[in-house]
Structure 1
Amino acid sequence: MRKKRILLLSEGFGAGHTQAAHALSVGLRKLSPDLQTRVLELGSFLHPTLARFAASAYRKTITSQPKLYGYVYRKQYKKSLNRLARMALHRLFYGQTLEVIKQLRPDTIVCTHPFPSAVVSRLKRAGLSVPLCTVITDYDAHGTWINPEVNKYLVSTEEVKRKLLQRGVPDSHIEVTGIPVHPNFWQHHNKEELRLRFGLQAMPTVLVMGGGWGLVQHDDMLQHMAQWRDRLQFIFCMGSNKKALERLKADPRFTHPNIRLLGFTREVDKLMDVSDLLITKPGGMTCTEGLAKGLPMLFYSPIPGQEEENCQYFTEMGLGEPIKSLATLDYWFEKLTAPSSGSTRPHGAALDPIAYNPSTCHQAIMQMLS
């Protein structure tokens, strides 16, 4: 009997979309070892040079002109892809994507980015019969995600479901599952063992994430954190931003036994388990990983648009708050260092991850297969 096959399609605009696709791939095979999964960044697979150029342009736009990005996001908020974008996708992807699907013969296609979802939707209009599942990887629902050919939307919250309903998506096509995270985030590790492994002290610990591109550009905030290095332990994860990492390593204020400087790492799940507070940009994936670990969060520099919505959601749920000034850091750092009889995490068990089950999204896709 042929194994069931799932094709997961993403795009490289930000790390979170492809990260979600890989999280689904690993999690699905963990739930059902007989499954075959394949993850493709459609643009990178079919047009690698063009994809690198597009991803670089996107990165430069959101870092140098975030207000422009936010303006475009809001202007197109209730609209699907415009005619020009659809024409570009048609010329670049439709024919080749159909050939990929014919070769891989998936039983279900799962998209974690709106572009491949639009491509497969058009193919379905032309006769493709493979079920299409779209996983929205933020705590918002932009119009570009919506296509009538999608058989199932897996969304983060009831609020995102409500937005889809308002735009005409049938209730039966939407399931609230939360955003998928890698199975490494499904379990909690022993904190003492992790401290020994990473050479960390048994003291309140702050994990600082720079996002998939290591976008930590706030020198005043970094320097202010360094002033707490005698009372707190810091782990700085700078992602792929090697220049920022080397700059911090060359700064004597960050040469301290209580400061650990890291580049890209695949052990974020363990670093979260050993930490008491997460400071991060409010990307959908990182926030959900923090949610799965029950980790309090502080947010800096949300990109106008989806990251602002992510920040608002987690703030309203009492799971974090934006850094409005350096006083916000001082407030939380004082809470971490205050004498307590229990966990060093602020609020302790009050930060229960609101009944979030990290495997729900994977199980919903398994149900589609059956």
Structure 2
Amino acid sequence: MQKILLLSVSAGAGHVRAAEAIRAYANIGDAHLEVLHLDVMQYVTAGFRKIYTDFYIKLVNKAPALWGYLYNSSNDAQADSSIEKLRQKLERMNARALLKEITAFKPDAIICTHFLPAEILSRQLKKEVLNCPVWVQVTDFDLHRMWVHEGMAGYFAANDEVAFRMQAQGIAAEKISVTGIPIMPSFTAVASREQCAAEFGLDGKRTTILLMGGGAGLGSLDAIAARLLAMEGDFQLIAMAGKNEAALAALQALSLRYPGRVLPQGFTDKVERLMACVDLVVTKPGGLTTSECLAMGLPMIVNAPIPGQEERNADFLLEQGVALKAFDAVTLEYRIRYLLDNPSKLAEMSIKARALGRPAAGQQVLDTVLSQHP
């Protein structure tokens, strides 16, 4: 029985979702493979967890410009600076419980979908306390310096540019695989639009827009939906509130005012089936969500990206011609009007998106690791 350990960090959902996608591929594959997924934040002190998760989420929501400054300054920071040494010391102090868990599981290989475990394990490899190969999956269309560490068995890049940046950081070309960002296996074979639309009570022949989050100048999700529903045009909306119960309740109230035009959705594991009904997605440009959209061939309007990794993701999508950008509610309405009035542009963006999509990235990651450590 081969053992693969997946390590993520619950600072934002993307790192966890990437690890879960790899595990899902393992579960439908080799029966002689045992895969364990651990959230590193479950093995650190409460204070450290608060800094890494709660503080991060508050910062990107309340002070995105400050987060952007920290993202860029930490990318340029010297490894031997006093701040870096302090950060590394805190990480070492919080690594003991995790290392104990790794020792107990005895993995044949480890895949990190966040830079924190990669950095912790890099030091263990250097001290020869750990002799298990460690791989790193980057989960954005950008490469921050903190992803790059000595002793890694290999790296998985979202695209050729990220791979190029890896080589510029000193990673050997033979250690880099361009796989894309892992998303769930369900995105590789989705039912037809007609079948999925019927499942959700939608009109499969009607233009459909998917809203995935508001804020940062656009307003709340129900406010955005109300603004769009007031526009001229025969289209329907799917509005995803996730685990935000207040937002879901507001959307449900809105749906009573616009019967048959808006479908409110809470947390769901059927995102790919909802996306199969859609012509256009309005979303934050996270690495995982945008990878799902690309796999489905969906044009995007990216809204208010967080300075740093999301801004770089947005730049990539705009350069590739698969997305437009909205920085406020007025711009969002204009962009949607423009695309609805220019279906050929929407179709062109869809073709480009599907060409960039890598729905089987998780399988490729797993195959690469297993081929190196049979």
Superposition map of 1:265-304 within 5 A: 265-304=268-307
Shift of 1:189: 1.3
- 1:134 aligns with 136
Superposition map of 1:1-370 within 5 A: 3-47=1-45, 51=49, 54-79=52-77, 82-93=84-95, 95-127=96-128, 128-202=130-204, 203-210=206-213, 218-219=219-220, 221-228=224-231, 231-251=234-254, 255-324=258-327, 326-333=330-337, 335-336=339-340, 345=347, 347=349, 349-354=351-356, 356=358, 358=360, 359-370=363-374
Q: Secondary structure at the match of 2:125?
A: helix
The 10-residue stretch of structure 1 (238-247 or 121-130) with the greater mean CA deviation from structure 2:
238-247
Aligned counterparts of 2:182 and 2:269: Cα–Cα separation in 1:
17
Matching residue's letter, 2:157: V
Shift of 1:229: 7.8
Unmatched runs of 5 consecutive residues or more in structure 2? none
Aligned counterparts of 1:45 and 1:324: Cα–Cα separation in 2:
38
Q: Secondary structure at the match of 1:160?
A: helix
- The 3 A distance-change label for structure 1 pair 76 and 329 is same
Q: Percent identity?
A: 29
- The 3 A distance-change label for structure 1 pair 31 and 245 is same
- The 3 A distance-change label for structure 1 pair 221 and 137 is same
The 10-residue stretch of structure 1 (323-332 or 163-172) with the greater mean CA deviation from structure 2:
323-332
- The 3 A distance-change label for structure 1 pair 236 and 99 is same
Contact 2:291 2:358 (8 Å CA) reproduced: no
Shift of 1:250: 3.6
Shift of 1:269: 0.8
CA deviation vs aligned residue, 1:65-116 (integer Å, no higher than 9, x gap): 00000001011114458111111111111x2222111110100011000111
Q: Secondary structure at the match of 1:262?
A: strand
Q: Secondary structure at the match of 1:238?
A: strand
Aligned counterparts of 1:98 and 1:350: Cα–Cα separation in 2:
43
Number of matched pairs: 363
- The 3 A distance-change label for structure 1 pair 11 and 300 is same
Contact 1:297 1:321 (8 Å CA) reproduced: yes
| Aligned alpha-carbon RMSD (Å) | 2.6
CA deviation vs aligned residue, 1:29-84 (integer Å, no higher than 9, x gap): 32323211011111224446753564222111110000000001011114458111
- The 3 A distance-change label for structure 1 pair 129 and 323 is same
Unmatched runs of 5 consecutive residues or more in structure 1? none
- The 3 A distance-change label for structure 1 pair 206 and 232 is same
Shift of 1:362: 3.0
- The 3 A distance-change label for structure 1 pair 339 and 350 is closer
Aligned counterparts of 1:347 and 1:149: Cα–Cα separation in 2:
40
